Structure 1
Amino acid sequence: MWGIVLRYQDEISLSRQIFLSFKERILTGQIPQGEALPSTRELAKGLGVSRNTVCEAYDMLLAEGFIVSRQGAPSRVAEGLYLDTYRKVKLPTEIKKDKPPILWDFKTGQPDLSLFPWPLWSQMIRGAANYLPIKQLEYTGPKGYQPLCEEIAMWLLRSRSMEVNPEDVFITAGATQALHLLVDLLHKKEHAFALENPSHPGIRTVITDKGYPLQWMPVDEQGANISFLEGKAVSAVYVTPSHQFPLGSILPAGRRAALIRLAIENDFYVIEDDYDSEFRYSGSPVSPIYSMDSSHVVYIGTFSKTLFPALRLGFAVLPKPLQAKWRHYRNFMDVQNPILEQAALAEFLNKRKMDKHVQHMRRVYGEKRKFLLSSIEHAFGNAVRPWGDASGLHVALQFPGMGFGKQFVRDSMEAGIRVYPLTQYCPAQNNHKDKLLVGYGHLSHVQIQEGIRALYQLMARET
């Protein structure tokens, strides 16, 4: 009746199905304005449902203004409801070609999640749910869970020898959110943000999407060349000094000091992204720039790679002059992070489970890195040169005389290999064309060996 077909096994109630059917027919003009609808008794009989079900549907139509009703008169369709754009045109389904499966995925920044202590983490989440004070379930503000801020300050002291006041620690949804906030907070009109070249495309995208100008600092085997900033109008400088992404170099003390002097003289801040600093396989962790001067450095970190990416918890250590504005911006972005995860992480740090996990994973990743380089040497001989310090979850490989572009990416995907030309991280696609970025943290020894062999075979076919 009236083109209404009811689905009795559907999760949507019968009354709402009737409402939706009338709504669609009214908006598409199948039932014109002013048209009288059947009485509730008549429609109920025609559809084989109770009158109460139809009355519910009519009440919905009346409440949302699709019909008008007067005592003693039939309900009629309200005026001005026809929407030509509401018509849904069914397009022919595109037949998609099946893509070959990725057998060897050398993506970067991916930890080995199989070795994370999930039972222990689950226990801490349950503990937070059971023992967290009710007051903590209210809005607690943009700074973050204070016990977690205190534990992060202690963790930085233990792992980096950084002396940090917990009041300067602000919890974020990973490093990406910190960058979004800082870019708006530090922007100065007609001043550029200075980035390393090459660098992570994420920070570049955050800045350019906001329409702010960029200034590039070339990167060599000693990190960013700070001299390129002299005489430039700068909003802020973003660097990855402990393990430059993606080339892996360490910024030496002389360049760090020069950067701090420029920041003080020109009144800008340095955004220090301590990328991959937990996983250094030769010697102690590299000291952060923050330890040299905390007045002009914003230190940001994340637990995405030390624990697991979906955790989405990071932090920023902010100089006092930036904190009020940060609170304002964060308050009107999303207020705060989920409290249970913050409480569980605070406990994870407090019980030194983080220390134990990082020590274990440092050994595991160090062995994987050695095995990767040995597999590369076995397949390619001495024709490949690794770049950077022995740290992190990826390595940059230089293949002298080779060039890797978009066609190589397509060919490698066809061969079941996901690998990243370093040109993808450069603003100009003609730089570092002979380098590939190879991630290994999440791969087993067998996957590494087979993947490198497959990569060698692919490159042998193309040369």
Structure 2
Amino acid sequence: MWGIELRTNSEISLARQIFLSLRKRILTGDILPGELLPSTRELAKGLGTSRNTVCEAYDMLLTEGFIISRQGAPSMVTEGLHMIPGNAGTTQDTKKEQPAIHWNFKTGQPDLSLFPWSSWSQMVHRALNTLPVHQLEYSGPKGYEPLCREISKWLMRSRSMEVNPEDIFITSGATQAFYLLVDILYKKNRPFALENPSHPGIRTVINDRNYPLCFMPVDRQGADVSWIKKMDLSAVYVTPSHQFPLGGILPAVRRASLIRLAAEKDYYIIEDDYDSEYRYSGSPVTPLYSMDPSRVIYVGTFSKTLFPALRIGFAVLPKELQKKWRHFRNYLDVQNPVLEQIALTEFLKIRKMDRHVHHMCRVYAKKRETLLSAAKEAFGSQISAWGDESGLHVALELPEIKFGKDFIPDCRKNGIQIQTISQYCSDENCHTDKLLLGYGHLNEKEIQDGIAALKSLIDASI
């Protein structure tokens, strides 16, 4: 009756089903403005339900203004409700089914199978059971103070980096730090300087705001900072300990030059230290922050060391920026969830982090060796690996090959997920002879089989 079909096994009440059905017909014009609805008794009889159910549905329509009801008169549809129906419900899904990916060389993905989930679960459980009631209140944009203290100690142990816990601000990953910093640091008509190639996250954040950009070319030693000597900038973004994606370490001369420029031109440097814990030859590289904490904003994350879904990162801020940061963060999302922060505090405090990173360094070093050996066996002496022995990815140069726009789609069709370095460049004609392969999450057989499949595809396309 009246186009209403009731489903008794639905989780939606019968009254709400009637309301939703009538509302839809009113909005689409099936029931016209000024049209009289049947009496509650009549509609209840037609639907085989109780009159109280129909009365409840009519009350919903009346409350939200879809009908007008006067005592002793039938309910009438309100004027001006007819809406032109959209195409969302009628269009067919034209997306083609994507081929299955068998070898996924995505970057930045740790091996989650080796994370100590049992220990982490116990820490989260303890945090839940011991959490004081006042910790359930708003705590503000700074973050959980005990976690800030443990991060300070972790930075000293892992990077010989002296940081005051008061200067550490917890974030929802590194991306949120970039999101906040871009607005905090922007100076009208002054561009942000990025490495070329560089991480798409920071570039996207800047482009979305229509802020100007300029680029520093990257060689095997990282960013060439001489390109920005005469420029007035909003800020400079660099990955000095493990350039993304080419992997170089910014040498001391370039670091000193960059810091001098920042002081002379009065801007800040954003240092993204996204995975320098994993270095397979020697100790982790000392952060740029250690050379001048007053000019460098250090951004770190636990996505690569623990797991991406944790969504806990941090920024070490100069005092002059902290008030502005608090304001921006307070009106973005206020704070991170407290349970994960408490669990991470214990994870750091009992040195579980230290042991986990030490273990994973050995694991990833072996995977890297497997990838490079497989690549050299497949492509011979022509192949060259870029970057220091660190991180969860490697850039491979094949100087006799140019990877065009069709290469990535062709890889996907053949079950291979991979990136070209040119995808991360401001100019798609840069570094066209290089591929980027992440390996942290893959086992040795997947790496070897993936390289073999890549070799077959490249041979077929030449």
1:413 and 2:412 correspond: yes
1:457 Cα deviation after fit: 1.2
1:70 aligns with 2:73: no
- 1:184-222 Cα offsets, whole Å, 9 max, x none, are 000001111000011111111111111111111111111
Contact kept? 1:28, 1:87, Cα under 8 Å: no
Deviates more, 1:373-382 or 1:303-312: 373-382
Which residue in 1 is equivalent to 2:25? 25
Task: Indicate whether 1:211 and 2:210 are aligned.
Answer: yes
- 1:354 aligns to what SS in structure 2? helix
Task: Map residues 410-449 of structure 1 onto 2, 5 A cutoff.
Answer: 410-449=409-448
SS at match of 1:381: helix
Q: Is the 8 A contact 1:248 1:388 kept in 2?
A: yes
Q: Contact 1:172–1:315 (CA<8 Å) still a contact in 2? A: yes
State the distance in 1 between where 2:89 and 2:323 align. 51
1:354-392 deviation line (CA, Å, top 9, x unaligned): 111100001100111111111111212211000110000
Q: Which residue of 1 aligns with 2:57?
A: 57
8 Å CA contact 1:148–1:346 kept in 2: the answer is yes
Amino acid in the other structure paired with 2:278: F
Q: Given that residues 411 and 417 in structure 2 are in contact (C-alpha distance below 8 angstroms), is that contact kept between their aligned partners in structure 1?
A: yes
Residue type at the aligned position of 1:319: P
**Matched-pair identity in %:** 67
Shift of 1:98: 3.3
Equivalent residues in 2 for 1:316-331 (5 A)? 316-331=315-330
* Aligned-partner SS, 1:270: strand
Aligned to 2:159: 160
**Aligned equivalents of 2:276, 2:299: Cα separation in 1:** 12
Q: Distance in 2 between matches of 1:261 and 1:97?
A: 53
Mapped to 2, the partners of 1:163 and 1:98 lie a distance apart of: 52
How far off is 1:91 after superposition? 2.8
Q: Which residue of 2 aligns with 1:130?
A: 129
Q: Give, as a single letter, the amino acid of the residue that structure 2 aligns with 1:59.
A: D
User: What is the match of residue 175 of structure 1?
Assistant: 174
User: 2:336 maps to what in 1?
Assistant: 337
Match of 1:254 in 2: 253
2:369 maps to amino acid: K
- For 2:88 and 2:96, locate their aligned partners in 1 and report how far apart those are by CA, in whole Å: 26
Go from structure 1 to structure 2 and tell me whether the alpha carbon gap of 1:36 and 1:180 turns closer, same or farther (over 3 Å shift).
same
1:397 maps to what in 2? 396
Alignment of 1:82-121 (within 5 A): 82-85=82-85, 90-94=90-94, 96-121=95-120
Which TM-score applies when normalising by structure 2? 0.98
Shift of 1:86: 5.7
| d(CA) in 2 for partners of 1:415, 1:86 | 38
Paired residues of 2:274 and 2:304 also in contact (CA < 8 A) = no
Contact 1:377/1:384 (CA < 8 Å) preserved in 2? yes
Structure 1 Cα separation of the partners of residues 253 and 338 of structure 2: 41
**What is the alpha-carbon distance in structure 2 between the residues aligned to residue 82 and residue 197 of structure 1?**
53
- The more displaced of 29-38 and 169-178 is 29-38
Judged with a 3 Å threshold, the aligned counterparts in structure 2 of structure 1 residues 377 and 299 are, in CA distance, closer, same or farther, namely: same
**Aligned residues of 1:240 and 1:273 also touching (Cα < 8 A):** yes
Partner SS, residue 406 of structure 2: helix
Residues 304-352 of structure 1: per-residue CA shift (max 9 Å, x gap): 0000011111000000000000000001111111111111111111111
1:5 aligns to what? 5
1: CA distance, partners of 2:378 / 2:141: 51
Residue 305 of structure 1 pairs with residue 304 of structure 2 = yes
How far residue 42 of structure 1 moved from its aligned partner, in angstroms, is 1.6
Q: What letter corresponds to residue 400 of structure 2 in structure 1?
A: G
- For residues 77 and 238 of structure 1, what CA distance do their matches in structure 2 show? 59
Alpha carbons of structure 1 residues 43 and 208: separation in structure 2 relative to 1, 3 Å: same
Describe the SS at the equivalent of 2:298: strand
Can you list the C-alpha shifts for 1:259-293, whole angstroms capped at 9, x where unaligned? Answer: 11111111100000012110000000000011111
Match of residue 191 from structure 2: 192
Deviation of 1:235 after TM superposition, in Å, equals: 0.5
Count of paired positions:
462
> Which amino acid is 2:251 matched to?
P
User: Secondary structure of the residue that 1:217 maps to in structure 2?
Assistant: strand
Moved more, 390-399 or 29-38: 29-38
Q: How does 1:210-229 map to 2 (within 5 A)?
A: 210-229=209-228
Match of 1:75, as an amino acid? S
Contact 1:223 1:250 in 2 (8 A): yes
Distance in 1 separating the partners of 2:142 and 2:89: 48
Distance in 2 (CA, whole Å) between partners of 1:88 and 1:305 is 39
Check whether the contact 1:27–1:86 (CA below 8 A) recurs between aligned residues.
no
**CA–CA separation in structure 2 for the residues paired with 1:435 and 1:354:** 34
Distance change in 2, residues 1:88/1:3 (3 Å): farther
Once the two structures are superposed, residues 47-105 of structure 1 have per-residue CA deviations (whole angstroms, 9 ceiling, x without a partner) of 111111111101101100111111222211112111124686623453x5433211111
1:86 to 1:229, Cα distance in 2 relative to 1, 3 A: closer
Question: CA separation in 2, counterparts of 1:428 and 1:447?
Answer: 32
Q: Is the 8 A contact 1:66 1:77 kept in 2?
A: yes
Residue 234 of structure 2 aligns to a residue whose secondary structure is strand
2:239 aligns with 240
- 1:84 match: secondary structure: coil
> Structure 2: which amino acid aligns with 1:229?
I
Contact persistence 2:242–2:249 (CA under 8 A): yes
Unaligned runs of 5+ in 1: none
For residue 155 of structure 1, report the CA deviation from its aligned partner. Answer: 0.5
Matching of residue 276 in structure 1 with residue 304 in structure 2 = no
Structure 1 residue 46 displacement after superposition: 1.3
Moved more, 116-125 or 79-88: 79-88
- Contact 1:249–1:389 (8 Å) recurs in 2: yes
Kept after mapping to 2: 8 A contact 1:405/1:423: no
**Match for 2:122: what amino acid?**
Q
The aligned amino acid for 2:319 is K
1:285 is aligned to: 284
Show the counterpart of 1:358: 357
Deviates more, 1:255-264 or 1:317-326: 255-264
Q: Secondary structure at the match of 1:382?
A: helix
Q: How far apart are residue 12 of structure 1 and its match?
A: 0.9
CA contact (8 A) 2:110 2:392 kept: yes
Q: 1:181 to 1:89 in 2, by over 3 A?
A: closer
Tell me the distance in 1 between the aligned counterparts of 2:318 and 2:303: 24
Give the direction of change, closer, same or farther, for the CA distance of 1:445–1:90 in structure 2 (3 Å limit).
same
- State the secondary structure of the residue aligned to 1:406: coil
> Which residue of 2 is the match for residue 145 of structure 1?
144
CA distance in 2, matches of 1:93, 1:360: 46
